[in-house]
Homo-oligomer: A and B are copies of this chain.
Amino acid sequence: MCGIFGVAGHREAANLTYLGLHALQHRGQQASGMVLWDEGHIREVVKRGLVVDVFDDKALQYLNGSPSGAAGGLTIGHVRYPKREKHALQNAQPLCVSYARGPLGVAMDGAFVNYEEVRCQLEEKGAVFQSETDAEVVMHLVAHAKAPAVEASLIEALGHLRGGYAMVLLAEGKLIATRDIYGIRPLVLGKRDGIWVVSSETTGLDLIEADFVREIEPGEICVLQGGHLESHFPFAKAKRACCAFEHIYFARLDSEVFGCSVHEARKRMGAALSRVHPVSADVVIPVPDSGVAAAIGYAQAARIPYEQGLIRSHYVGRTFIEPQQSIRNFGVKLKLSAVRSVLNAKRVVVVDDSIIRGTTSKKIVSLLRSAGVGEIHMRIASPPTEWPCCYGIDTPSRAELISASHSLEEVCTHIGADTLAFLSPTGFKEAMQPANGFCDACVSGRYPTQLP
């Protein structure tokens, strides 16, 4: 779960990338980075922290180069969500190396299922690894390829890899953008001032006032230089399998992802949930922010008033210190507050996007109980999450997924709700138009790629 962005040559490429990454910040808050190609020279700023913190005045000045610099740069950028890897800084992206044909920058969202295998093969050939990122494997394969140009080397490299990914590369004065053959991870093309721009989601285009042109197709390799686009489809076609979790939780509400509005999809999930699992209640409330659209959908379909019964604090960051003595376990209370006047003695439908380990849901139920709620009917706008993701979404192992090992009743008892219901697989598929092209491995166990 990361966000990627790129500009194929623009006098303000660094500024546009800065803004684009800011609009993708929800896809990763641990580290932010940008690499800029300026006539064969590379400038690089990659650091832990939010976009607004990493790209301070000094960093932007450095990336923008000399104020008189006439020619425009090409950029790739990345925001990173912490994954299985141990070393935060080393794994921050874009990665940037020098190889036989010059500098090479790579930023990637997603994961390869045969990462370990390919890494071992490369190490056998003498490769040394400085990070634990999937992106570094791509770099080594590109460097070992025999092709004369970077796009051909990349095609050769990707032939060895299997997984779900969206990726941007910078080399030889070109921006290359590509997606896996299933289209698991999202990536869109836009244009501003006649120049190509790529972004994980359309929200990145909207902020910089670029026009949305189209998705990059599954398996497509786009070579972008200024306003020029060269498209390659070197691999056999596969059945489209776009990640359903983007619509369930991950993408931003104002984005269009895989050709479908995130907001509309979530509303449809909420409405479907209401039809399949209705309940007599006084009020429908969301778990903010990811449950809002589904809750509105539920409330409208069920004709129960929608209310804001939980407020999310704007001031909780990673740095919050919980006092160390007897006052503990404030956890969710620091982040969410209950609005007593909405909740007191009411029968409440609480709509959330998913249940992973069950710990957050349990805390929310407890918070609502102490605000005097009468009945709590938890409604989840997706089917139970029973399988880990192999394509970059940071779900835990099967052992930690509560629905993988517990019945609906057990989960309901665990979280302390009066009733609990999930969206059915059928209702889910209908809401996810076009339903026939999605990867729902996390709820079905059917993975689009071969697994190792």
Q: Of B57, B254, B261, B339, which is within 8 A of A311 by CB?
A: B254
The reply to whether B139 and A319 form a contact with Cβ atoms under 8 Å apart is no
Q: Of B23, B98, B263, B289, which is within 8 A of A341 by CB?
A: B263
Most buried by B among A23, A313, A341: A341
Q: Is the C-beta of A245 less than 8 angstroms from some C-beta in chain B?
A: no
The reply to whether A330 and B207 form a contact with Cβ atoms under 8 Å apart is yes
The reply to whether B18 and A323 form a contact with Cβ atoms under 8 Å apart is yes
Q: For the complex, what is the distance from the CA of A300 to the CA of B339, rounded to whole Å? A: 18
The reply to whether B292 and A308 form a contact with Cβ atoms under 8 Å apart is yes
CB proximity of A440 to chain B, nearest CB, Å: 22
Q: Is the C-beta of A238 less than 8 angstroms from some C-beta in chain B?
A: no
- A265's closest neighbor in chain B, by CB? B341
Among A271-293, those with CB < 8 Å from B are 289, 292-293
Q: Of B51, B98, B334, which is within 8 A of A315 by CB?
A: B51
Known pairs A308-B292, A315-B52; A124 contacts B100 (CB<8 A): yes
Among A123-162, those with CB < 8 Å from B are 123-130, 139-140, 143-144
Known pairs A323-B60, A327-B19; A25 contacts B315 (CB<8 A): yes
Known pairs A97-B130, A140-B128, A261-B340; A315 contacts B254 (CB<8 A): no
Q: Is the C-beta of A333 less than 8 angstroms from some C-beta in chain B?
A: yes
Q: Is the C-beta of A390 less than 8 angstroms from some C-beta in chain B?
A: no
Q: For the complex, what is the distance from the CA of A261 to the CA of B309, rounded to whole Å? A: 13
The reply to whether B52 and A321 form a contact with Cβ atoms under 8 Å apart is yes
The reply to whether A321 and B60 form a contact with Cβ atoms under 8 Å apart is yes
The reply to whether A314 and B314 form a contact with Cβ atoms under 8 Å apart is yes
- List chain B residues, Cβ under 8 A from A338: 206, 254
Q: Is the C-beta of A66 less than 8 angstroms from some C-beta in chain B?
A: no
- List chain B residues, Cβ under 8 A from A320: 22, 52
Q: Of B129, B293, B311, which is within 8 A of A308 by CB?
A: B293
Q: For the complex, what is the distance from the CA of A57 to the CA of B61, rounded to whole Å? A: 16
Among A301-332, those with CB < 8 Å from B are 305-308, 311, 313-317, 319-321, 323-327, 330
The reply to whether A254 and B339 form a contact with Cβ atoms under 8 Å apart is yes
Q: Is the C-beta of A104 less than 8 angstroms from some C-beta in chain B?
A: yes
Chain A: interface size category = 35 or more
- List chain B residues, Cβ under 8 A from A289: 311
Q: Is the C-beta of A200 less than 8 angstroms from some C-beta in chain B?
A: no
Q: For the complex, what is the distance from the CA of A120 to the CA of B97, rounded to whole Å? A: 14
Q: For the complex, what is the distance from the CA of A158 to the CA of B203, rounded to whole Å? A: 52
Q: For the complex, what is the distance from the CA of A18 to the CA of B319, rounded to whole Å? A: 14
- A319's closest neighbor in chain B, by CB? B52
CB proximity of A251 to chain B, nearest CB, Å: 12
Contact mask for chain A residues 361-387; partner B; CB cutoff 8 A; 1 contact, 0 none: 000000000000000000000000000
The reply to whether B139 and A315 form a contact with Cβ atoms under 8 Å apart is no
The reply to whether B52 and A19 form a contact with Cβ atoms under 8 Å apart is no
Known pairs A207-B334, A316-B52, A330-B207; A127 contacts B130 (CB<8 A): no
Q: Is the C-beta of A230 less than 8 angstroms from some C-beta in chain B?
A: no
Q: Is the C-beta of A53 less than 8 angstroms from some C-beta in chain B?
A: yes
- List chain B residues, Cβ under 8 A from A315: 22, 25-26, 29, 50-52
The reply to whether A99 and B129 form a contact with Cβ atoms under 8 Å apart is yes
The reply to whether B126 and A327 form a contact with Cβ atoms under 8 Å apart is no
The reply to whether B15 and A253 form a contact with Cβ atoms under 8 Å apart is no
Q: Of B23, B98, B127, B316, which is within 8 A of A337 by CB?
A: B23
Q: Is the C-beta of A12 less than 8 angstroms from some C-beta in chain B?
A: yes
The reply to whether B323 and A12 form a contact with Cβ atoms under 8 Å apart is yes
The reply to whether B128 and A99 form a contact with Cβ atoms under 8 Å apart is yes
Known pairs A25-B313, A207-B337, A326-B12; A126 contacts B97 (CB<8 A): no
CB proximity of A333 to chain B, nearest CB, Å: 6
Q: Is the C-beta of A409 less than 8 angstroms from some C-beta in chain B?
A: no
